[in-house]
Amino acid sequence: MSDYSIYVLEYAYSSQFPKSGVVYGAHNQGTIKLSYSYVLLKGRDRMIMVDVGYDNVDYAKELNDRFGVENWQDYAVVLGECGVRPEDVTDIIITHAHFDHMGGLARFPNAKVYLQEEELAKWIWIMSLDEKFQFLMGATDPSDIIKAVDLARQGRLISIRGACENALPGIDLHPAYDTHTAGSQYVVIRNDGKAASDDVWVLAGDLLYQFDNLEGQSPEDSAYIPVGLAYGSQTNLLLVTDEMVKRAEGDTTRVIPIHEERLKDRFPSRLSEKGLQIIELAVGDGQQSHVSA
């Protein structure tokens, strides 16, 4: 029994992203293809997204071009591959506030948004620092932070303080303080709805970029390797990586790095007409596959 269909939806990609930006210390190892994706969870009475990418306009467009992102496609196109419209989305979980994860909030008028309180507070603090600290804002659009604050005014922001069990049915949120960002969080889906679940998926946000961060760069050396970009502690990143693996009962294939282009080789997938990957992690009971006929 699966409560949710789970899809990793690629909405853009960078075909030549420096590997050192993905795997810490991978200097002079060339470039990789980096997927830009969000996750869709289709439930019986809820339509949930984990992260929402960005709307490719204004400062987000500048960041898109700066990071060499290609083939960005609109939400109606990407979500439409699974028969979903942006206005159908009921809930949004934000793993962290970088532009490529939180920039599209305004496109989802009917959704409540779940964000760690520490994440929002620390970005407001960082925005107030002297311009000498602008490095910290390198992947953040200040207007996204303002949009999140306005969601609180509208009564649509759920500010999470620490771990939250059943934030949504069968979905738990866990903080990863002082890691990739100050208040990152990862998402645990107990897809059979049980407290002691036999069907766990862990969505890692940017606590992991690739399988390499989780499983090492070779079978002979399977040590965890932190991501190439962290505003907090690399030690904390490694400890949280281990925590995520334990929540998945040691099964690293159920800890999902959404920037990983090779997800298509591990799970059922198809390429859309726009040349973007649709990765199917699970099909909920009574639902149809959007990958296989």
Place of tokens 């009971």: 285
Handedness of CA 45, 84, 252, 161 (dihedral sign): negative
Query: Tokens standing for 162?
Result: 């620490």
Which residues form the domain of 97? Answer: 5-282
Alpha-carbon gap, residue 250 to 41, rounded angstroms: 23
Report the SS3 class of residue 7: strand
In a domain, 287, yes or no: no
- List the alpha helices (DSSP H) in 216-262: 234-247
CA distance 60 to 85: 22
Q: Per the domain annotation, does 173 fall within a domain?
A: yes
* pLDDT (0 to 100) of residue 220: 81
pLDDT at residue number 74: 98
Residue 134 resides in a domain: yes
| 275-60-26 Cα angle (round to 5) | 70
pTM (2 d.p.):
0.97
Distance CA 179, CA 147 (A): 23
The Cβ of residue 216 has, within 10 Å, a number of other Cβ atoms equal to 15
Q: What span, in angstroms and rounded, lies between the C-alpha atoms of 102 and 52?
A: 6
Say how far apart CA 209 and CA 17 lie, in whole Å: 12
Checking DSSP bridges between strand 157-160 and strand 112-116, what pairing results, if any?
parallel
What is the predicted pLDDT for the residue at 290? 96
Number of domains in the chain: 1
**Residue-by-residue pLDDT tens, the chain, 293 positions:** 799 999 999 999 999 999 999 999 989 999 999 999 999 999 989 999 999 999 999 999 999 999 999 999 999 999 999 999 999 999 999 999 999 999 999 999 999 999 999 999 999 999 999 999 999 999 999 999 999 999 999 999 999 999 999 999 999 999 999 999 999 999 999 999 999 999 999 999 999 999 999 998 878 888 999 999 899 999 999 999 999 999 999 999 999 999 999 999 999 999 999 999 999 999 999 999 999 86
Whether 293 maps to a domain, the answer reads: no
Beta bridge partner(s), residue 35: 13
DSSP 69-91: -B----HHHHHHTTT--GGG--E
Q: CATH number, domain at 194?
A: 3.60.15.10
Cα separation, 248 vs 255, in Å, equals 7
Residue 92 lies in a domain: yes
Q: CB count, 10 Å around CB of 112?
A: 17
Smallest CA-to-CA distance from 103 within 145, 53, 150 is with 53
116 within some domain: yes
Q: Retrieve residue 29's tokens.
A: 């190892």
Cα–Cα distance measured from residue 10 to residue 137, given in angstroms and rounded to the nearest whole number: 24
Does the residue 130 lie in any domain?
yes
For residue 165, the tally of other CB atoms under 10 A from its CB is 12
Handedness of CA 66, 72, 279, 96 (dihedral sign): positive
pLDDT at 142: 97
Please answer whether residues 139 and 63 qualify as being in contact, where contact means their C-beta atoms are separated by less than 8 angstroms.
Answer: yes
CA angle (108, 42, 49) in 5-degree steps: 40
Q: How many residues does the chain have?
A: 293
Residue 183: is it exposed, middle or buried by C-beta count within 10 angstroms (0-12/13-18/19+)?
buried
Q: What is the DSSP letter of 227?
A: B
Residue at 290 is within a domain: no
